[in-house]
Amino acid sequence: MKRLRDYLELSFEEIYTVDRPTLGRNADVSLIRALILSIIRYLGFNAASKLYHAGMYFGGELGVSSIDDMKEIFKELGIGIINIVSTEPMVIRIEECVECSGLPNIGKPVCYFDAGVIAGCLEGILGSEVKVVEKNAVLWGMTIANLRYIHYQIKYCKIIL
């Protein structure tokens, strides 16, 4: 399986380095969302799956070794705040998600990349296959004002916290 650096010839450490003395390392959340939605639009067939797998590669590149590491890097990169809701089945809640928090309810999942990043991180921690499913029931039933977090159900995951 090819890794991110095989395609881009850049490691995560290299892309983490930022040389922007005036603007710094932060960009607006709307730019990230526009980038992801543009990619979905132009990928066409199976775009969601491709974005999920792209997220998995990236998650694997992060090299996290524990849930605490994953929580820390999600917060550090501004992806979102991870809360473990339950372990059997494992359910993770992402608060202040960079991809969806504050978006209007469009009636379908939008956080394919994030779900893949979680899967890639968990596979690195466990050394085995993990599938992350965006649980829409919680999100879609809520009003826009309450649209502040999303749940992911983790399949094939046996982490004891």
Site for Zn ion, rule CB under 5 A: 97, 99-100, 111, 150
Nearer to Zn ion, 11 or 136 (CB): 136
* Element at 93 (helix H, strand E): strand 90-95
Nearer to Zn ion, 5 or 135 (CB): 135
Nearer to Zn ion, 69 or 96 (CB): 96
Residue 141 Cβ vs Zn ion, minimum distance, rounded to whole Å: 16
* Sequence-separated (6 or more) residues with CB below 8 Å from residue 94: 74, 79, 80, 81, 82, 83, 111, 114, 149, 150, 152
Residue 115 Cβ vs Zn ion, minimum distance, rounded to whole Å: 8
DSSP classification of residue 161: -
Burial class (CB in 10 A: 0-12, 13-18, 19+), 11: middle
Residue with the CB atom nearest Zn ion in the bound state: 97
Residue 118 Cβ vs Zn ion, minimum distance, rounded to whole Å: 10
